[in-house]
Amino acid sequence: MKEYVNLNVNNGIGVIEFFHPQSNSLPNKILKELDNIITLAGQDDSIKVIILQSGGNRTFCAGASFDELMAIDNESDGKEFFSGFANVINAARKCPKFIIGRVQGKAVGGGVGLASATDYCFATQYSSIKLSELAIGIGPFVVGPSIERKIGVSAFSQLTINATKWHSAKWSKEKSLFSEVYETIEAMDREIFILAKKLSESNPDSMRGLKKIMWEGTDHWDELLIDRAAMSGKWVLSDFTKGTLKKLK
């Protein structure tokens, strides 16, 4: 299958789904489309609540596109690539609608950042996570503020420092990244539909006000996350990172 980002609207519920054949990784093209579609969905009065999900039944999101990381050869291109993650997180943050996350499987790096940018995140027992950035010589600089906001400094530090360790869905729920965890995708989807339907029938003005309160103190992220993208764009060019990427190729 080819990569895609789709938006489907039904009875006030907008479902944004992305897919990439390489374990739902996030090349720049998909990041730009996600940024655009989240923004448009937030402006669409027919949409009362948004569900953010990926295609397939296994991996939720493998994070940054390995091929595009390998191809970065200057700081400007590096900043532009990592700015894609910044823009998606900021689009989710500024979207006036609640965003429900649907995490059906493993999430790595930017995929964890994507999950943390949702307002209420469902997952299955198979949804283990890791932040692998330090292992290749960079760090989760761009997604860090969003993840830290959800799980706190201590848990974020655990994920960041032990960059090759998978943390279970149970651990993620205990740390408040995931709101609910289910044994099967079917059970998770039933509960997602129940919550989305309730929200679609709720007062949109009240939900808009609540979302603004929930994200209070993050107005500076427009600048912060782009500055972090520049940091990642610089360190992805280091000899250490380039050498590690070649070994993993």
Residue 140 located in a structural domain: yes
Among 104, 125, 103, CA closest to 114: 103
For 27-40, how does the pLDDT look when each residue is reduced to its tens digit (9 = 90+)? 999 999 999 999 99
**Average pLDDT of the residues in 50-56:** 97
Give the distance from CA 232 to its chain's centroid: 17
Q: Across residues 62-89, what is the average pLDDT?
A: 94
Question: Can you give the pLDDT at residue 249?
Answer: 66
pLDDT, residue 245, reads 84
Domains in the chain: how many in total?
Answer: 1
Give φ, ψ of 13 to 5 degrees. Answer: -105, 120
Whole domain around residue 140: which residue ranges?
A: 4-200
Asked whether residue 134 carries a pLDDT value surpassing 70, the answer given is yes
Taking 80 as the threshold, does the pLDDT of residue 154 lie above it?
Answer: yes
Paired with 121 in beta bridges are 101
Residue 242 forms part of a structural domain:
no
- pLDDT the model gives residue 242: 87
Question: Which CATH number does the domain housing residue 17 bear?
Answer: 3.90.226.10
Average pLDDT, the chain: 96
Pairing mode of beta strands 49-54, 98-103: parallel
Q: How confident is the model at residue 144 (pLDDT cuts 50, 70, 90)?
A: very high
Between CA 61 and CA 118 the distance in angstroms is 14
Provide mean pLDDT across the span 184-199: 98
Q: Within a domain: residue 210?
A: no
The answer as to whether 146 is a domain residue is yes
Could you tell me if residue 61 is inside a domain? yes
Distances (CA, A) of 200 to 7, 14, 46, 48, 147: 16, 10, 10, 5, 27
| pLDDT (mean) for 55-62 | 94
Tell whether 244 is covered by a domain. Answer: no
13 domain-assigned: yes
The answer to whether residue 227 sits within a structural domain is no
